[in-house]
Amino acid sequence: MDTSSPEFQEALRDHARSLGVDPDSESYLLPLVQEALLAELPADWEQGETEDGTLYYFNSSTEESIWEHPLDAHYRELIQAKKEEHAAQPTETIP
């Protein structure tokens, strides 16, 4: 996958927004968003597609279906922790 392609960059920005990240003002989080976007599915999970092209995820062991990648909640937690860490850092002021 060409991560420098315009299509990938647009998908990255879209995924950032879906994870609660502003891709313009929180660009320091984009590497984590990219990791989330490229994350492989956990064991027993499969990706499916509805007739209208909407993606969903199905766990063959539990027979659970969900609309977002099974690891998105995990990445939201990581992103929130990074936001808190970033907010706690002192900001530089230039006199």
Domain coverage including residue 14: 1-38
* Residues 25 and 47 reside in one and the same domain: no
Mean pLDDT of 78-86: 96
Q: What angle do CA 57, 79, 70 make, to 5 degrees?
A: 10
* Residues 32 and 1 reside in one and the same domain: yes
The token pair at 11 is: 């998908």
Angstrom distance (rounded) from CA 69 to CA 51? 18
Residue whose tokens read 């879209």 = 14
Average pLDDT taken over every residue of the chain:
95
pLDDT confidence of residue 1: 74
Whether residue 93 is predicted with pLDDT greater than 80 in this model: the reply is: no
Report pTM.
0.85
Mean pLDDT of 27-51: 97
* Residues 33 and 59 reside in one and the same domain: no
* Residues 17 and 47 reside in one and the same domain: no
Domain count within the chain: 2
pLDDT confidence of residue 32: 98
pLDDT digits (tens, 9 = 90+) for 40-80: 999 999 999 999 999 999 999 999 999 999 999 999 999 99
* Residues 62 and 31 reside in one and the same domain: no
